[in-house]
Amino acid sequence: MLSALRYFPMLSLIAQFSRQPSAPLQLWLRTTGQKFRPANPVPHRVLVRHRQNALLAAGLAGPHQCATLLMEQRPGPIPTIVIGGFVPDSTEALYLLRGSLLQQGSLYYFNYPRRGFSTEMFFAQLADLVEELSQNSDRPPVIMGISFGAGLVMEWLRRFERPEHQPALAGLVLVSPVGCVEDLLDPTKPKPTTLLGRVIKPYVDADGRADGAIIERSRSVFVKMFESGAQHKEALRLLLSREELDRLREAVLATINSIEPSAARDRVQALCNFNPFRVVRPLCDAPVLILFSEKESAVLCDGAPTERELRTCTTVWFPQGRCLTVRNHVNNPVQHASLIFHARNFQPLLTGFYRSLRQKHRQRRAA
């Protein structure tokens, strides 16, 4: 029977369909659709850049600290800005979710620079893009921040001290947000208690220095984290074709290996300066969806401040916010920001969020 399945793909599809009816069909539909319209993010032609130009002109940041901004254009009414974690790049993080998000509108991906990082430059680029999209479409964008990227977004929003100065957003999605370094390094413990905590502690202790040995250890840990997510072979066969998994692995490893020590150091130093809960006031008045994974323990400390605040005081920080836990079956629990390997667990929640945004927009137009 196994040899027959090897030589007759349709029999294999039927066999998988009997075990998990929708998954093989979804895989076939997605891969077939990508053959006709493959993912093709292209550099975005920036129309608003006065904030970033001011930083460059003042010598407060350099071109090597500018993020790469890519986009996939679609006619839908809700554009989405994607801001990833430390790794992988935003374009890889949404590999299996891009299709459903593109049904809502265009996607804009921020990929961090490889040779450095500047929080101020990133905020300038983000603010310029939000202004551009708000001016050139009938609806402002949704921002999706993932892990470190979610922390960046919260820190950016904290700087708008008055409600009338807040940026125009249709909504906000925060996936496994890391809002401060204490989320990864428990200050009450003598040693790091999480895998990612062990990665960043040498950068914190190095006091602004980062040598080749530190970056190599960091790379090896990030590779192991990615490979551990790819261990569930049975589940992966229902998510990705072999060619897709090879291509995705190659892209993720290329990103990890291309990050220079200065860039890794700058990102960790940026995280050390985050403090989104410094002043108790709403960070965003738009609808907000906060998604924590059921198994954050490889990344977030027990009692991580950001998770505690956003779970217990959701509406203090986001008056229209909801905080949910993304779950899967017991043999394959959802890990921190696992948008690739648990895309099907995230997708219904994201789809429902965008549906509610469209409904609110129709209600406002009808009023």
Whole-number Å distance between alpha carbons of 179 and 307 = 9
Q: Say what the pLDDT of residue 42 is.
A: 95
pLDDT, tens digit (0-9, with 9 covering 90-100), for 232-264: 655 666 677 888 888 888 988 899 889 988 899
Same domain, 133 and 1: no
Q: Say what the pLDDT of residue 117 is.
A: 97
| 77's tokens | 């009414």
Q: Say what the pLDDT of residue 329 is.
A: 80
| 13's tokens | 């599809």
Q: Say what the pLDDT of residue 286 is.
A: 96
Same domain, 3 and 119: no
| Sequence-separated (6 or more) residues with CB below 8 Å from residue 277 | 179, 180, 305, 306, 309, 317
What is the DSSP track for 293-319? ESB-TTTSPTT-HHHHHHHHSHHHH-T
Q: Say what the pLDDT of residue 81 is.
A: 98
**Mean predicted confidence (pLDDT) in 209-230:** 77
Q: pTM for this structure?
A: 0.88
Question: By C-alpha distance, which of 99, 92, 149 is closest to 119?
Answer: 149
- In order of 121, 174, 205, 262, the CA distances from 185 in angstroms are 26, 20, 12, 21
Q: pLDDT at residue 88 above 80?
A: yes
Same domain, 146 and 280: yes
CATH of the domain at 118: 3.40.50.1820
Q: pLDDT at residue 229 above 70?
A: no
In single-letter form, the type of residue at position 254 comes to A
Same domain, 148 and 281: yes
State the DSSP H helix or E strand holding residue 265, giving kind and residue range, or none if neither. Answer: helix 261-272
Average pLDDT, whole number, for the chain? 86
Share of the chain above pLDDT 70, in %: 84
Share of the chain above pLDDT 90, in %: 60
Same domain, 180 and 275: yes
The beta strand positions in the chain, using DSSP E, are 42-43, 68-72, 80-83, 107-111, 142-146, 171-175, 288-293, 321-326
Q: pLDDT at residue 4 above 90?
A: no
Same domain, 13 and 127: no
| 150's tokens | 């979610």
Whole-number Å distance between alpha carbons of 200 and 214 = 9
pLDDT band of residue 30 (cuts 50, 70, 90) is low
Q: Which residues pair with 80 in a beta bridge?
A: 107, 142
Q: Say what the pLDDT of residue 24 is.
A: 55
- Residue 9's domain spans which residues? 1-38
- Domains held by the chain: number: 2
pLDDT band of residue 20 (cuts 50, 70, 90) is very low
Same domain, 12 and 55: no
Same domain, 91 and 63: yes
Same domain, 26 and 125: no
Same domain, 48 and 34: no
Higher pLDDT, 34 or 262: 262
Same domain, 118 and 59: yes
| Sequence-separated (6 or more) residues with CB below 8 Å from residue 123 | 51, 156, 159
- In order of 21, 34, 41, the CA distances from 248 in angstroms are 25, 14, 15
pLDDT, tens digit (0-9, with 9 covering 90-100), for 292-338: 999 999 899 999 999 999 999 999 999 999 999 999 987 889 999 99
Q: Say what the pLDDT of residue 139 is.
A: 77
pLDDT band of residue 346 (cuts 50, 70, 90) is very high
pLDDT, tens digit (0-9, with 9 covering 90-100), for 101-129: 999 999 999 999 999 999 999 999 999 99
Q: Say what the pLDDT of residue 38 is.
A: 64
Phi and psi angles of residue 266, each rounded to the nearest 5 degrees, phi first: -65, -35
Whole-number Å distance between alpha carbons of 155 and 120 = 11
pLDDT, tens digit (0-9, with 9 covering 90-100), for 137-173: 667 999 999 999 999 999 999 999 877 788 999 999 9
Higher pLDDT, 76 or 324: 324
Same domain, 152 and 280: yes
